[in-house]
Structure 1
Amino acid sequence: MAIVDAAVKPSPPSSPPLTRIIVMVMAFVRFILTPILGLVRVVRLAAPALPYLGFAAAWVISAGMAATIVAHHACRKGSAPLVFLEAFTHVAFKFSICLISLFLALLAIFLCGFCLAYLVAVVSGSGSEFKKVLWKVLEGSRKVRKKPPRKVESHGSLEADLQKRFEHHDPHELINELKTIFETHAAVECYEASKHFFSCMMEEGSSVSEHMLAMTGHAKKLSDLGIVIPNRLGINRVLQSLPPSYKNFVMNYNMQNMNKELPELFSMIKSAEIEIKKEHQVLMVNKTTSFKKQGKSKGKNRKSGKKAYAL
């Protein structure tokens, strides 16, 4: 029997009714003070415009009182238009009073219902959920009033979309879905970077420095994604990307079986670029001189042929 009593856990003591009443009163006071403080802040912000509003209200009231006095005076004398004016002002005054009282009654009903709902939520222990629902309603009304923002493709918009998408997810589900999203994104980036790296080719007559910068950029992107290119594979890819004018350089490099690092290979290709440009200039000069010599020989043959014909 003692073992059974020890196994049974004692139930937590229930709070006395006086404590509940105090909690309800404090919650009600807090709920009443919150809109009052908000109203005080609004009044502080609108303080510069209050004198103008007071002047306008005083002017309207004085004009109405003057019209009422004139209507009473005219009614005593029996003027028909002024009698109509008195009746019209009386009806308008009553109508405005009815509208104001109706608005105040609806506001009081709304506040009372809201207070009762909040007190019930506090007593039942779901006050925080009630506040969350209230904030969501207020944010929804603000979004409706505001104009929809322009869509901007950036990391900020991506983060906002992800936040809305995973707002009601569990942490475990959130981590798994984010993992799949960013792993897919990384796989696509890796595919594009490797495609650019292995399809990059240097055009004939272009700069070696620009080509090397492009290839190192693609290789760095791959390394940032976790793919390290071996030195030998990188050297072979650089040699394969050179144009046909570097054929002799590639052949000499492979025949001598050089084992260079990429920076050393870049400097060697830069030196080869200078030599190839010199050879190209010499070849162009030889072509122009041979073309000029052929033109002179043709001119001499024409002159000699004319002289022979004259004889």
Structure 2
Amino acid sequence: MLWLFVAIITLTFVLPLLSVWIVVKVTALAKAHPKPAKYALITMFIILMVAGGLKIRDIYYEKSPYYFWNELMRKNPKPFNVSQEEFEAKNRGGYCWRDKKYYSKEELWHKAMKSLTGRMIYENKFYWDNKVANVDGEFLPTEDECVRERGCRVFKIPMNPDKEKFLKDNIENENDFWKGIDVLIKHNEAESFIFSSDKNYVDDDFKLKNYILIHKLNNPTYLSVYDSNNCCTVLNKSEWSLIRKNYILKYIGIDTIVFRQESKIPIDININSWGVGNFYLSVTYSKSISVPEFVAKDKSETFKDSRRVYLLNNCGDVLYRPNYWWRR
């Protein structure tokens, strides 16, 4: 709580005194040197305007409950030479303005899988940036854990019988398992994604179908696993309407530290007209299981632990939050 006490003292005493001191100095400068004072005031005004603008942007984009919605809108923006009427009409038809085409469900699946991986990478970045706080609001040194445990990354492993046998043969303990993953990466038999700017992630079109995604945070013991063969399905509006009653829309995440801030979707618009909600990504994955559970457990059971449905835009980008949770 020391930081809170310091903040109160600063706001109550230091800042007012500093403001008075600045006013006195500027007044004295204006009397002695009118012209330089004029330029000094103009410069200060510009600095304040820029700082204020940046602060407003920060509040709007990062603190707003519509932050993730706004980010999704920016991924498929309206072209400046297109009327609003045409923009909304084509959006309702499933048009992706960014890529200038209509995608089939099969094509959207590859796009959505990459975007879902990007969501995991986004979550990891909070750990790399030491932005994960405890219950007292204190930021934790999570970057050190990411480095020490070689965590906070997403692994993409194309699967075949030989590779599954290789992983099972390296299951005596967690360290051996991760060493096995490192061997696969070294021989270009697997990928490791840390940041969204990583070249291998940027260049990957996710066109493969038989692979697993392993989401590893800062704890080496547990991981989340997505099997591309049965984890994820793109649904159109009609297909989604048939199962919608089995899900509830979650605005606040309780499953992860990163997504606990309330996130909303505008309620006064037709989201289809903005290119969202024509398609959905249904995801079934195994969350927070141990390495032995992952390798030893029958996969038909393993991947039934958690079910989520994400809204997609017409380009296959996932809305990070809110999303739908299966009613148990």
Same fold (TM over 0.5): no
The TM-score, its normalising length taken from structure 2, stands at 0.17
Greater share of helix residues, 1 or 2?
Answer: 1
TM-score, normalization: structure 1? 0.18
Task: Compare CA radii of gyration and give the structure with the larger one.
Answer: 1
Q: As a proportion of its length, which structure holds more strand?
A: 2
